[in-house]
Amino acid sequence: MPVDPSNLQAGLIWRWRHFSLFSVSEWHEVLRLRTAVFVVEQECPYQEVDDKDPVAWHLELHHDGELIGTLRILPPGIAYQECSLGRVAVRADYRRLGLGRDVMSRALVFCDSRWPAVRLSAQLYLKPFYESLGFTAVGESYLEDDIPHIEMLRAR
């Protein structure tokens, strides 16, 4: 059943949490969404669970009690010299409603209040989206898990 965009904003709940604050069932929901998007939808078998989640801050977006969006932010020195964000996911039935941009905007406010720059590894087809948020491509495209990516940087 398609999502009714006219009633969407009123029912959204945003939440920031460090990994250490998740219950097992809450973390299971994050992994279920990320796996549905990155492994199943994109048909990309890769190690979705890694050692970076325990040091990350995670943004959750819920609607009507269900997790529909998430991303993680890594402090500087974990993935890159700068802070980084990744694992940006919005559930398929909630796409094309501007929620990806909303998730990213909230993440950038979080990062900008703490660090001078943000770096990410973007799927190449999303390069224009990230450029619209102030990111600039750094270097050439490369394959990551057989998907074209490009490193991008946003400095204040």
Per-residue pLDDT of 44-101, as tens digits, reads 888 888 999 999 999 999 998 999 999 999 999 999 999 999 999 999 999 999 999 9
Please report, to the nearest 10 degrees, the dihedral formed by the alpha carbons of residues 11, 108, 89, 35 taken in order. Answer: -120
Q: What is the mean pLDDT of residues 108-121?
A: 97
- Provide the whole-model pTM: 0.90
Q: Which CATH number fits domain 5-115: 3.30.200.20, 3.40.630.30, 2.60.40.1930, 3.40.50.740?
A: 3.40.630.30
Which distant-in-sequence residues (6+ apart) come within 8 Å of 147 by Cβ? 42, 44, 123, 124
